[in-house]
C-alpha cells in the first residue's frame, strides 16, 4: 500500500509539472504579444522585452483606432458573425436531431450522404461560379451561406442528441400528446445548451476569423469584415516601408517602429472580442465537447 501511495504521489507530481509546462507554453505567447503591442519595437527585436512591457507606448493602438475603417470592419464582422451563427444553429439543430432518431426512415443513407461531403469538395472556382449564379457576389450572404453547416458539426450534434436525450423522455412526451415540433422546442433544446454553446462558438470563431472568402467574393470596401481591414492596414504599412527605403535614416526607423507596434496591436484587436466571450462559454464548451464526442 505504501508503494502504491508513493507511485500515486509521483504521478500527481509529474502530472502537475506537465500541466504547468503546457500552461506556460499557452500563456507565454499571449502575454508576449500583449506586452509587445505596447512596448518599444526596438526593445522587442533586440530581445530586451521578453515578457513584461518595456518603454510603454500606445502609439500602435492609436494609429489603428484612428482609422475609421476599423469600426466599419467591426460592425460588419459582428453582423456577419451573428447572422451566420444563428443560421448555422437554425439548420444544424433540427437536422442533427432528426438524424439521431431511430424512427427516421433512411437515416443511415442520409448520414452517408452527409459524410460524402467531408471527402469531396467542389473547389474554389466551381464554388465561385455557383455564388455568382445565385447573385450573392458582393453581399453578406456570400460569406454566410456557403459554410452555414458542415458534416462534422452534424455528426457531433447528432451524437450529443443520441447520448443525452433518453428515448424514454421522447416516448413519455409522445404519450402526453406532444408533437415532434413541440417536443423539439420545449424539451430537446432546453436540454441541449452545452452542444448549442459549443457549435455556436466554433462557428462564430470561424466567421470572425475568415478573410479569404471576403477577399474573393467582396469588392465593396464598405462591406469588408474586420480581418480584411486589418490585412489591408498591414499590407499598406509594409508597402510604405518599401517605398521609404531610400529616405532618411530617422524617418525609416520611425516607420519600422510604427510597423512593429501595428503588427502586434492588430493581433490583439482582432482576438480581444473572442477572448472576452470565451470564459462565459467555457463551462458549456467543455461539457458539450466531451458528451458530443462519445457515442454510447
CATH number for position 181: 1.10.3720.10
pLDDT score of 292 more than 60: no
- Highest mean pLDDT among 195-209, 229-243, 248-262 belongs to 195-209
Mean pLDDT: which of 3-12, 82-91, 95-104, 173-182 is highest?
82-91
| Enclosing domain of residue 121 | 60-292
- Which has more pLDDT, 232 or 200? 200
Domain final residue pick, 28, 57, 86: 57
Q: What is the pLDDT of residue 79?
A: 93
Of 119-133, 142-156, 222-236, the range with the lowest mean pLDDT is 222-236
Instruction: Report the percentage of the chain scoring pLDDT > 90.
Output: 10
Distance CA 283, CA 197 (A): 9
Answer for the pair 207, 80: CB distance below 8 angstroms, yes or no. yes
Among all chains, which residue has been given the C-alpha cell 507565454? 28
**Stretch 45-53: mean pLDDT:** 79
Do 267 and 238 lie in a common domain?
yes
Q: Burial, 6: exposed, middle or buried (Cβ in 10 Å; 0-12, 13-18, 19+)?
A: exposed
Statement to judge: residues 47 and 79 lie in one domain: no
Distance, CA of 292 to CA of 294 (rounded, Å): 6
What pTM did the predictor assign? 0.77
Which whole-number Å values give the CA distances from 58 to 39, 54, 187, 235, 260, in the listed order?
8, 12, 51, 21, 12
Domain count, the chain: 2
For residue 296, pLDDT over 80 is answered with no
Amino acid at each position: 500500500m505504501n508503494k502504491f501511495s508513493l507511485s500515486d504521489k509521483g504521478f500527481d507530481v509529474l502530472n502537475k509539472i506537465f500541466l504547468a509546462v503546457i500552461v506556460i507554453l499557452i500563456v507565454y505567447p499571449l502575454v508576449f504579444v500583449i506586452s509587445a503591442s505596447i512596448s518599444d519595437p526596438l526593445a522587442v527585436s533586440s530581445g530586451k522585452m521578453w515578457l513584461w512591457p518595456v518603454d510603454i507606448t500606445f502609439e500602435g493602438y492609436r494609429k489603428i483606432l484612428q482609422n475609421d475603417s476599423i469600426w466599419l470592419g467591426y460592425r460588419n464582422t459582428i453582423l456577419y458573425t451573428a447572422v451566420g451563427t444563428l443560421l448555422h444553429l437554425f439548420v444544424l439543430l433540427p437536422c442533427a436531431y432528426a438524424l439521431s432518431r431511430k424512427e427516421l426512415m433512411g437515416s443511415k443513407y442520409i448520414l452517408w450522404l452527409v459524410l460524402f461531403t467531408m471527402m469531396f469538395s467542389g473547389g474554389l472556382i466551381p464554388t465561385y461560379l455557383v455564388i455568382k449564379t445565385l447573385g450573392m457576389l458582393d453581399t453578406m450572404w456570400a460569406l454566410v451561406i456557403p459554410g452555414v453547416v458542415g458534416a462534422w458539426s452534424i455528426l457531433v450534434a447528432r451524437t450529443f442528441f443520441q447520448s443525452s436525450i433518453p428515448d424514454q423522455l421522447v416516448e413519455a412526451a409522445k404519450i402526453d400528446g406532444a408533437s415532434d415540433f413541440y417536443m423539439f422546442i420545449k424539451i430537446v433544446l432546453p436540454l441541449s445548451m452545452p452542444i448549442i454553446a459549443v457549435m455556436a462558438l466554433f462557428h462564430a470563431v470561424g466567421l470572425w476569423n475568415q478573410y479569404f472568402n471576403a477577399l474573393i467574393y467582396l469588392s465593396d470596401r464598405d462591406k469588408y469584415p474586420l480581418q480584411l481591414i486589418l490585412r489591408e492596414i498591414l499590407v499598406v504599412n509594409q508597402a510604405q516601408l518599401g517605398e521609404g527605403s531610400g529616405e532618411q535614416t530617422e524617418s525609416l526607423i520611425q516607420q519600422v517602429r510604427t510597423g512593429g507596434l501595428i503588427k502586434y496591436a492588430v493581433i490583439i484587436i482582432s482576438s480581444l472580442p473572442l477572448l472576452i466571450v470565451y470564459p462565459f462559454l467555457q463551462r458549456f464548451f467543455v461539457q458539450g465537447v466531451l458528451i458530443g464526442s462519445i457515442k454510447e
